Structure 1
């Protein structure tokens, strides 16, 4: 039963990472690429770490894996948001079919420096 669970989780994790790598190629602009990559890669790495915790039932390995998953889920979206916000304020263009731009009202960095 454990082998089946590990096989399912690692397959889903590998597929998530595959989708992240496909997203880098398929998405039209930096912001969508960043979004897809962070979401899918965080899921994939998290599932692999859960598999490692199941394979090695030692308390220290499980604790470390759970701590890494916790901090990964906590920090990856925040880091991606900060990277995207900095990219926007430095002038990286959005996709031509972008429907909503919530930062549009904020002055860009070059306008603030004047």
Structure 2
């Protein structure tokens, strides 16, 4: 393995370590749950992405083949992290916000994900 490959691997590992540290520090130091949510979903995702890129460079320099494992892990990570953050934020809003604090909803059933009411509710029995 050449010097250039080792330098690239080292750079990506240092960058990912910095992002991981910033994300972890933000998770501890930020006050509110929604603020804490931002640090790990953004910074730590980039940190893990840096480690995966360093791993791809290492295995390409060592064997000459591109490793598909790291690509699949990166795809899974970059697809699931924002969705998870969205669900956590929605759960926080549903638990901590009062209806009077929210803006008016355009739907018939208030702040709901669905147009139809959930099964078993009085509004569903009227349909």
- The whole-number CA distance in structure 2 between the counterparts of 1:24 and 1:65 is 26
Asked whether 1:64 is paired with 2:62, we answer no
Given that 1:31 and 1:84 are in contact with CA atoms closer than 8 Å, whether structure 2 keeps it comes out as: yes
Q: Displacement of 1:108 after TM fit? A: 7.1
Q: Does 1:80 align with 2:85?
A: yes
Question: Does 1:53 find its partner at 2:56?
Answer: yes
Unaligned runs of 5+ in 1: 93-102
Q: Corresponding residue for 1:91?
A: 96
Q: TM-score, normalised by structure 2?
A: 0.69
- Aligned-residue CA RMSD in angstroms? 2.5
Aligned equivalent of 2:26, options 14, 23, 48: 23
Moved over 6 A (4+): none
What is the count of residue pairs matched by the alignment? 101
SS state at 2:14 partner: helix
TM-score (norm 1): 0.77
**Cα distance in structure 1, aligned partners of 2:76 and 2:45:** 11
Structure possessing the higher relative contact order (Cα contacts under 8 Å, 6 or more residues apart): 1
Bigger CA radius of gyration: 2
Q: Which moved more, 1:12-21 or 1:75-84?
A: 75-84
**How many Å separate the matches in 1 of 2:5 and 2:102?**
50
